Amino acid sequence: MPNPPSPNSPYHKYGGLIARLELVDALVCFTYSIWSKEYGRRVCIPETWQTAQAFLSWCKAKWDTPDTVGESESAFLGLIYMIEGFIHARKFNYASKIARSDTTALWTNTRGLVLTAAREEGLKATPSLLSTGSHLTPQGLPSPANSVPTNSAHSTPTNIVDRSLEQGALLSTSARPPPQGSPSGYTQPLPFPPEFIKDSEFTRDGRDGGVKLTEQMAAAASKVTIPVSSHFVNTAQSVSQGIEAAQYCMEHSQQTLTLPKMAQHFPITFARMVYSNLGADEEYQPDMEDEEGELFWPGQCTTGEGLGWVCLMGKAMIHELGKDFGYIGLKGVIPKPRAEAQSGSMRGQPFPR
């Protein structure tokens, strides 16, 4: 190095730790910069966050080493994992909001096709049943062509209906039981989401005035498919991977970074969070370089927010631990030699001053 630190300086004695503090400090500032640009616009641009992935991996590699000693230092590895977890959660949260309208439309269309397939299969088994609109005509009601009063002997009593679709017979509740082989309804787990028949005319057993769902009807409904666009498939895949990545990162984060460990090893930062009057949505309030202002524990990453609080907490942790080792942040950074200087050194030439 052209101007190495003095052998008596903290930057010489604790060079390894200070170098890693500089690394995580840069990560915190870089992440906070991207977040602050998005915060005011209430957006999340996944392509921008992709630029941070290599940096995150590099930081984890530098902190997840035998050189990281004690819970106070390993807490920074938890901080890096927390930053990464909140980034993944932010991305999938906003992506799911954008895809929600498409998902709702697909779900509604699929449900309609499932119910239609069940109705058509029911009509095949019992041709005497009529379909009016989107519902099967309930059995046991008088025919519209029947002009005989409802108390006539020719009318169909409404209190003696057996809703068996395959038999199609009208049996008195006080008469004989259904014949052998009459379907008792679908008792197995449904081969399609049960939410599709919720609030519809179908029930598993025909109770509560519903149409009994038979095995044949359920099988026909389970064969329903619906086309989706490649864009939707990609979004669904991204959201799924983002959820898994966020879970992985947060599981690793909480192994080394928790509130009890903050209270033990970072008491100043801990006090700034637990005695705060700020709310979860006031990430814009604190000054990043302020070492005394109120903070807020980041909370749940699944909300898609809180990344600003993670960065502010991380900056406070760096300040608090760094004081014990003489860390002075950007002011103490030793710049790398310029490329031409490195080239000159290789030829035996001195570094320019």
Query: 241-285, pLDDT tens digit by residue?
Result: 999 999 999 999 999 999 999 999 999 999 999 999 999 999 999
What mean pLDDT comes out for the span 322-338? 84
Give rounded-to-5 percent helix, strand, coil for the chain: 55, 0, 45
Checking if the pLDDT of 314 tops 60, the result is: yes
- My answer on whether 201 and 237 are in the same domain is no
In a domain, 178, yes or no: yes
Mean pLDDT score of the chain: 81
Structure tokens at 98: 């954008």
- My answer on whether 331 and 237 are in the same domain is yes
In a domain, 90, yes or no: yes
In a domain, 113, yes or no: no
- My answer on whether 14 and 93 are in the same domain is yes
How many angstroms separate the Cα of 168 from the Cα of each of 154, 214, 341?
18, 13, 93
* Strand segments (E) across 133-229: 135-136, 202-203, 211-212
Count of structural domains, the chain = 2
The total of other beta-carbon atoms located within 10 Å of residue 348's CB is 6
pLDDT at 78: 97
Q: Which of 40-54, 68-82, 123-137, 197-211 has the lowest mean pLDDT?
A: 123-137
Output the CA angle 228-229-233, nearest 5 degrees: 85
In a domain, 196, yes or no: yes
Identify the top-confidence range among 64-68, 143-147, 194-198, 328-332: 64-68
pLDDT at 320: 96
pLDDT at 353: 32
What gap in Å lies between CA 315 and CA 309, rounded to an integer? 10
Checking if the pLDDT of 299 tops 70, the result is: yes
Checking if the pLDDT of 5 tops 80, the result is: no
What mean pLDDT comes out for the span 285-304? 93
Measured in degrees and rounded to the nearest 5, phi and psi for residue 99 equal -85, -5
Domain range for 151: 130-164+166-213
The percent of residues above 70 in pLDDT, for the chain, comes to: 77
- My answer on whether 262 and 337 are in the same domain is yes
Query: 220-241, pLDDT tens digit by residue?
Result: 999 999 999 999 999 999 999 9
Phi-psi region of 43 (alpha: psi -120 to 50; beta: other; left: phi over 0): beta
In a domain, 242, yes or no: yes
In a domain, 123, yes or no: no
DSSP SS3 for 105:
helix
Structure tokens at 66: 């035998």
pLDDT at 339: 66
- My answer on whether 51 and 196 are in the same domain is no
In a domain, 124, yes or no: no
The band of 187, judged by pLDDT with boundaries at 50, 70 and 90, is confident
Burial 109-139 (b: 16+ CB within 10 A, else e): ebbebbbebbbebbbebbeebeeeeeebeeb
Are residues 119 and 136 in contact, defined by beta-carbon separation less than 8 angstroms? yes
What gap in Å lies between CA 33 and CA 17, rounded to an integer? 24
- My answer on whether 190 and 298 are in the same domain is no
Q: Which of 77-86, 108-117, 261-270 has the lowest mean pLDDT?
A: 108-117
- My answer on whether 35 and 94 are in the same domain is yes
- Give the residue from 237, 253, 274 showing the smallest Cα distance to 64: 253
Beta bridge partners of 132: 135
pLDDT at 342: 52
In a domain, 328, yes or no: yes
Pairing of strands 202-203, 135-136: unpaired
- My answer on whether 134 and 52 are in the same domain is no
What mean pLDDT comes out for the span 27-52? 94
- My answer on whether 208 and 59 are in the same domain is no
pLDDT at 125: 72
Checking if the pLDDT of 76 tops 80, the result is: yes
Amino acid at residue number 264: Q
Query: 130-158, pLDDT tens digit by residue?
Result: 444 444 444 433 444 443 444 444 443 43
pLDDT at 168: 37
pLDDT at 9: 80
- My answer on whether 338 and 243 are in the same domain is yes
- Give the residue from 177, 181, 171 showing the smallest Cα distance to 125: 181
How many angstroms separate the Cα of 197 from the Cα of each of 117, 142, 213?
12, 27, 10
Residues 6+ apart with CB under 8 A from 328: 322
- My answer on whether 263 and 206 are in the same domain is no
Instruction: Examine the fold and report which residue of 179, 213, 247 is the final residue of a domain before the chain moves on.
Output: 213
**HEC readout, 96-122:** HHHHHHHHHHHHHHHHHHHHHHHHHHH
Beta bridge partners of 203: 212
- My answer on whether 244 and 321 are in the same domain is yes
Are residues 210 and 203 in contact, defined by beta-carbon separation less than 8 angstroms? yes
pLDDT at 1: 64
